[in-house]
Chain A
Amino acid sequence: MLEDVKQILLVLSGKGGVGKSTVSTQLALTLKVRGYKVGLLDIDLCGPSVPYLLNLESQSVHQGPDGWVPVYLDNEQRLGVMSIGFLLSSRNDAVVWRGPKKTSMIKQFLEDVYWQDLDYLIIDTPPGTSDEHITVMENLRHVPQCSAILVTTPQAVAIEDVRKEITFCKKTGISIFGIIENMSGYVCPECSECTNIFSSGGGKSLSEIARVPFLGSIPIDPRVGMLAGQGKAAVSELPNCTTSKMFDELVRKLSKSPTNGNSETSANEDL
């Protein structure tokens, strides 16, 4: 089902709570606003956050003639979403599954969802380097247009886990598109003093040590935080904030990337 997808992006982080789902949803929304056709697959089975973040919690998945039809955010069907959250009867339901069951669910998500033609498929992952990640890697190993975006926060305890994720990517042979540093700095609303709550510069120095591109840092911005649960893009709601600029820049970098099917023609022209 994935051969019609031009580029697959895995959003990874060894650490939890660093903003993988926020980055995934905002990246998907930015790509959609910029005119691409996007799919967002949430493989965090024990803690799916995407349905809540995009305000799609009451939606359900339907079975079509070609496979599962993802839930679309808009009528033009430019952003399709798939998550286990759509399959649970109540939002408090826990998915208490051991590895083998998670593995087969993810296989189904990868094989049975009818995404149609997509420019980008973004895959949001849970923290860690275990069943979910191994399964995705095994299934995507032979898909050449696949790369990973790593999300981290600047403090040492998060960097330590992300280093493990980099090792994981290297061992499984997936290319790393770059690192995003989230929650770097908070501007006090009272005195405008910017404090690096979780220290600073960790993402940048990690990218230098691991020799992977640094894609930018996102500050803690309560205005962006308030967009959670609304399904609105930061780039259209808050066009001037640092977060929007970072995502716009990221989309520009992605469209120029050689792994992208779109740029094949332009790459040929360069020759």
Chain B
Amino acid sequence: MSKVPENAPQHCPGTASENAGKVSACAGCPNQNLCASGAASAPDPAIEIIKNRLANVKHKILIISGKGGVGKSTVTSLLGHALAAKNPDINVGILDADICGPSQPRVLGVRGEQVHNSGSGWSPVYVTDNLSVMSIGFLLGSPDDAVIWRGPKKNGMIKQFLSEVDWGDLDYLLIDTPPGTSDEHLSSVQYLSGAGLAGAVAVTTPQEVALLDVRKQLSFCATAGVPVLGLIENMALYICPNCKSQSEIFPATTGGVAQLSAELGAPVLGSLPLDPAAGARLRHWHHTRAP
């Protein structure tokens, strides 16, 4: 990954390159000496800090999908709940890496909670005794507040989330990502390179327009060396609450997840129906336990 700063001179070889500070383009650049000394090509010190911070987190799993609105956040929250409910001794953390559209506070029913800062770092918000969550949503003053940030600022936020949140001992850290293959994804993978990622779970819906983006995301995983643990198909079948008949709202015209799994060799971990009753129950559950 070449690192060319935004304000670098033309033909900058990249700060981590062997030629950094040594080619003609570097003449006159204020960082020439720094680059030539080799300090810039050393690994980011944050990687080591994050490794130490997450030393007590056993499995770090990314929840990905190139496509938006396929249910990454819903799957992340349900998976978190399922892991935490199965065994009270298992501790689960959810990190919402979607900086521009954080959904975890809502899907977990903890909107309006505050994050506290203590000597050991930021304390995440606890949904149940063994399920904690951290999201930029907790840091915004109003639900209308937009986070209008370019990449470097988003990367800084993710770095802070990974290095400064006091998760305690966790068995699972689920990282919910935004759609796309850009800053948030590159940064998460890069910063966790020391701490070690268990892998990624990809969520998709059955129609081709979603699969198209998911394939791109999976080739990103292959390039970045992130193992794909499996695929989850969401919104596969629609169950009519009136007549209980099933229909395909987003038809898998190109073979759907089964085909993708065969192409890729990653297992299909499950298929979730589009069940309005489930959505309603979740909303009701949040209402009954809202403060």
Are A and B subunits of one complex?
yes
Question: Please, which residues of chain A bring their CB within 8 A of the CB of B199?
Answer: none
CA distance A168 to B148 in the complex (A): 7
Verify B209–A46 contact, CB threshold 8 A.
Answer: no
Assuming the contacts A16-B68, A99-B151, A229-B208, asked whether A188 and B243 have C-beta atoms less than 8 A apart, the reply is: yes
Question: Which residues in window 163-201 of A have CB below 8 A to B?
Answer: 163-168, 171-172, 186, 188-191, 193, 195-199
Verify A164–B145 contact, CB threshold 8 A.
Answer: yes
Question: Please, which residues of chain A bring their CB within 8 A of the CB of B198?
Answer: none
Question: Please, which residues of chain A bring their CB within 8 A of the CB of B132?
Answer: none
Verify A52–B212 contact, CB threshold 8 A.
Answer: yes
Determine the interface band of chain A, counting residues with CB < 8 A from chain B: 35 or more
B269 within 8 Å of A by Cβ?
no
Beta-carbon contacts of A86-130 to B below 8 Å, as 1s and 0s? 000001111111111011000000000000000000000011111
State the Cβ distance, A251 to closest chain B Cβ, in Å. 23
Beta-carbon contacts of B180-193 to A below 8 Å, as 1s and 0s? 11110110000000
CA distance A15 to B102 in the complex (A): 10
Verify B247–A189 contact, CB threshold 8 A.
Answer: yes
Assuming the contacts A130-B151, A156-B106, asked whether A46 and B240 have C-beta atoms less than 8 A apart, the reply is: no
Verify A99–B186 contact, CB threshold 8 A.
Answer: no
A53 within 8 Å of B by Cβ?
yes
CA distance A21 to B245 in the complex (A): 30
Verify A47–B100 contact, CB threshold 8 A.
Answer: no
Q: Kindly report which residue of chain B lies nearest to residue A16, judged by CB atoms.
A: B68
Question: Which residues in window 49-87 of B have CB below 8 A to A?
Answer: 66-70, 73
Question: Please, which residues of chain A bring their CB within 8 A of the CB of B100?
Answer: 14, 127-130, 161, 164
Question: Please, which residues of chain B bring their CB within 8 A of the CB of A160?
Answer: 101, 103, 106, 143
Question: Which residues in window 1-32 of A have CB below 8 A to B?
Answer: 14-18, 21
Verify A17–B223 contact, CB threshold 8 A.
Answer: no
State the Cβ distance, A14 to closest chain B Cβ, in Å. 5
Verify A191–B181 contact, CB threshold 8 A.
Answer: no
State the Cβ distance, A160 to closest chain B Cβ, in Å. 6
Interface core residue of B181, B209, B245 (most chain A CB under 10 Å): B209
A49 within 8 Å of B by Cβ?
yes
Stretch at the interface among A59-67, A220-228, A258-266: A220-228
Assuming the contacts A96-B186, A126-B179, A191-B240, asked whether A164 and B147 have C-beta atoms less than 8 A apart, the reply is: yes
Beta-carbon contacts of B253-280 to A below 8 Å, as 1s and 0s? 1000000000000000000001010010
Assuming the contacts A167-B145, A193-B240, A195-B242, asked whether A127 and B219 have C-beta atoms less than 8 A apart, the reply is: no
Verify A130–B209 contact, CB threshold 8 A.
Answer: no
Q: Kindly report which residue of chain A lies nearest to residue B241, judged by CB atoms.
A: A195
Q: Kindly report which residue of chain B lies nearest to residue A47, judged by CB atoms.
A: B213
Verify A94–B208 contact, CB threshold 8 A.
Answer: no
Majority-rule SS of B interface residues: loop
Q: Kindly report which residue of chain B lies nearest to residue A91, judged by CB atoms.
A: B212
Q: Kindly report which residue of chain A lies nearest to residue B154, judged by CB atoms.
A: A130
State the Cβ distance, A12 to closest chain B Cβ, in Å. 11
Verify A195–B150 contact, CB threshold 8 A.
Answer: no
B249 within 8 Å of A by Cβ?
yes
Verify A191–B144 contact, CB threshold 8 A.
Answer: no
Assuming the contacts A49-B209, A130-B148, asked whether A191 and B242 have C-beta atoms less than 8 A apart, the reply is: yes
Given A49, A102, A191, A199, which contacts B212 in the complex, CB threshold below 8 Å? Answer: A49
Q: Kindly report which residue of chain A lies nearest to residue B100, judged by CB atoms.
A: A128
Question: Please, which residues of chain B bring their CB within 8 A of the CB of A96?
Answer: 181-182, 185-186, 220, 223-224
Interface core residue of B66, B148, B181, B276 (most chain A CB under 10 Å): B148
State the Cβ distance, B234 to closest chain A Cβ, in Å. 10
A158 within 8 Å of B by Cβ?
yes
Which B residues are within 8 Å of any A CB, using their own CB? 4, 6, 66-70, 73, 99-101, 103, 106-107, 143-152, 154, 178-183, 185-186, 205, 207-210, 212-213, 215-217, 219-220, 223-224, 238, 240-243, 245, 247-251, 253, 274, 276, 279, 283
17 contacts between A and B (CB under 8 A): A15-B68, A16-B69, A96-B220, A97-B182, A98-B186, A128-B100, A130-B148, A131-B150, A155-B279, A157-B107, A160-B103, A163-B144, A167-B144, A188-B245, A193-B240, A228-B207, A229-B208
Q: Given contacts A49-B213, A99-B6, could you give 20 more A-B pairs where the C-beta distance is less than 8 Å?
A: A16-B179, A21-B209, A46-B66, A47-B212, A49-B212, A93-B216, A94-B216, A98-B186, A102-B182, A127-B68, A127-B69, A130-B149, A160-B143, A164-B101, A164-B147, A167-B145, A193-B241, A193-B243, A196-B276, A225-B251
Which A residues are within 8 Å of any B CB, using their own CB? 14-18, 21, 46-47, 49, 52-53, 91-100, 102-103, 126-131, 133-134, 153, 155-158, 160-161, 163-168, 171-172, 186, 188-191, 193, 195-199, 220, 222, 225-226, 228-229
